Amino acid sequence: MDGLTLSRTDGQTLVEQVMETLRTRIAGRKAAPGTKLPSIRQLADQLGVSRSTVVEAYDRLVAEGIVQSRRGSGFYVAGHLPPFSLSDSGPALAREIDPLRITRQALDSRRIRSNPGCGWLPSSWMPQEEIRRALRSLARAPEASLTEYGTPLGLPELRGLLAVRMADSGVEAHPDQIMLTESGTQALDLVCRLLLEPGDRVLIDDPCYFNFLALFRAHRVEAIGVPRTPAGPDLDAFEAALKEHRPRLYITNSGPHNPTGTVLSPVACHRILRLAEAHDLLIVEDDIFADFEERPAPRLAAFDGLQHVIQIGSFSKTLSASIRCGYIAARPEWVDALVDLKLATSFGGGAMSAELVLHLLKEGSYRRHVQGMRTRLAGAMNALIPQLKAIGITPWHRPEAGVFLWCRLPNGVDGAALTRAAWEDGIVLAPGNAFSVSQGCGGLMRFNVAQMQEIGIIGDLASILAGGPEFS
């Protein structure tokens, strides 16, 4: 067990620090069950603490069941690994930029006053009346949809409708190439189960949607970042990463990209697909923000014909996040394996959710709702940009559409520190480094333009910024 250094945390005794050092090593899968641990003397020397401190730390870890003491032989990592913990398995991140902490904060409405760091629209923007009508209509529907499991692929009529919607953005998919899932995130998880092995490498945009980074930790794969430009990934860096890391997958959004609001240029689209063919790379195109676009930007799945590209999507952002329903469109020969993985790990999809989504999409009112939302978002974006500029925050790129504005903070301001200060006031922010695998976005921040309409939020941010570089 080389390279151990004491994990120092304020307010912990030396014994606790020694315990934490060993616990982190074991939980991080860096010391397998049965591995011999350093002797008391060795560990005391390595960490620069007294032997009695090490003795007490080992005693307490034995009591916790993490370490086994074998008489006359020393200390060993106990028989089974401790439970897998996402927070112990990635790089140690400050709370403010840890993807899972941000998600939890944003979802836990009890302490939230304003939520400009979240990825969804305020509920007042969502089609409440249409959903109420759909519920009443389902209450009168034939009984099958109320109590039965979904079919293996999911509701045929909804898959048919999705095929038509995909055709609108140029993607040709037969309804039997489309499998319904319980969410866009589950869709992505199933694709990872299909295509990734532990230890594989995955290309992502830097910055990218932060939950991708959490999901990759769950799959024990390594994320390789490619800098994002306003026209897509930096293509030279993309090619170099393919050659150096031989990644299995590239995962991206092609509609308004999260967090930058950019779209792929046709040139980038074409060149990415050529590189994918040459380097045996598969691509997952997360199309979850598609309905925010007035004119669809180029889609990788459209150019590729669903050969190297898998497209996924859901309705959480435009219809409801409470009605769980997503989908995967993939090569026909992969669909059986995806269905098997779905059945084994979640049994069926949510048949009632699929019925509700079908009902809502079929109604002409969905088109009107989406149209109204786009207009309202464009207005909110136009109003927000000068307000942010007035407090020293400037757009990195001006998006054509969507919910997000990716911004530079005033010179010298660190996004994580600003986030911490804002949270004290009940404001959830999304600091740049939560999205960045290289941790190169410390001076950037993602704003949700709809949530930024909250009265007083600009003033609150201005006061926090005025508090000085540490905002304390």
Specify burial of residue 215 (Cβ count, 10 A radius: 0-12, 13-18, 19+): buried
CB of 319 to a second copy, least distance (A): 8
Among 186, 260, 448, 451, binds a second copy (CB under 8 A): 186
Output b/e per residue, 413-433; b: 16+ Cβ within 10 A.
bbbbbbbbbbbeeebbbbbbb
If one asks whether residue 241 binds a second copy (CB under 8 A), the answer comes out as: no
Query: Of 260 and 316, which has the nearer Cβ to a second copy?
Result: 316
Q: How many residues bind a second copy (CB under 8 A)?
A: 84
CB of 398 to a second copy, least distance (A): 28
- Helix (H), strand (E) at residue 309: strand 309-314
- Of residues 303-362, those binding a second copy (CB under 8 A): 316, 319-324, 334, 336-337, 339-341, 343-353, 355
| Packing angle, helices 128-139 and 364-390, rounded to 10 | 150
Q: How far apart are CA 180 and CA 167, in angstroms?
A: 17
Q: At residue 112, what is the residue type?
A: I
Q: How far apart are CA 452 and CA 382, in angstroms?
A: 12
Site stretch for a second copy (CB under 8 A), options 55-63, 126-134, 366-374, 402-410: 126-134
- Of residues 66-125, those binding a second copy (CB under 8 A): 78-81, 83-87, 100, 103-104, 107-109, 120, 123-124
| Packing angle, helices 14-27 and 40-47, rounded to 10 | 100
Query: Of 184 and 298, which has the nearer Cβ to a second copy?
Result: 184
Decide: 327 and 187 in contact? Cβ < 8 Å: yes
Query: Of 193 and 397, which has the nearer Cβ to a second copy?
Result: 193
CB of 49 to a second copy, least distance (A): 26
Query: Of 24 and 265, which has the nearer Cβ to a second copy?
Result: 24
Rounded to a whole number of angstroms, the CA Rg of the chain reads 25
Output b/e per residue, 114-133; b: 16+ Cβ within 10 A.
bbbbbbbbeeebbbeebbee
Among 113, 132, 274, 389, binds a second copy (CB under 8 A): 132
CB of 229 to a second copy, least distance (A): 27
Site stretch for a second copy (CB under 8 A), options 146-154, 407-415, 424-432, 436-444: 146-154
Return the structure tokens found at 286.
């997360």
The separation between CA 381 and the C-alpha centre of its own chain, rounded to angstroms, equals 23
Among 46, 69, 151, 453, binds a second copy (CB under 8 A): 151
- Of residues 165-184, those binding a second copy (CB under 8 A): 182-184
Query: Of 45 and 108, which has the nearer Cβ to a second copy?
Result: 108
Q: How far apart are CA 300 and CA 254, in angstroms?
A: 7
- Of residues 196-235, those binding a second copy (CB under 8 A): 197-198, 211, 214-215, 217-218
Query: Of 144 and 466, which has the nearer Cβ to a second copy?
Result: 144
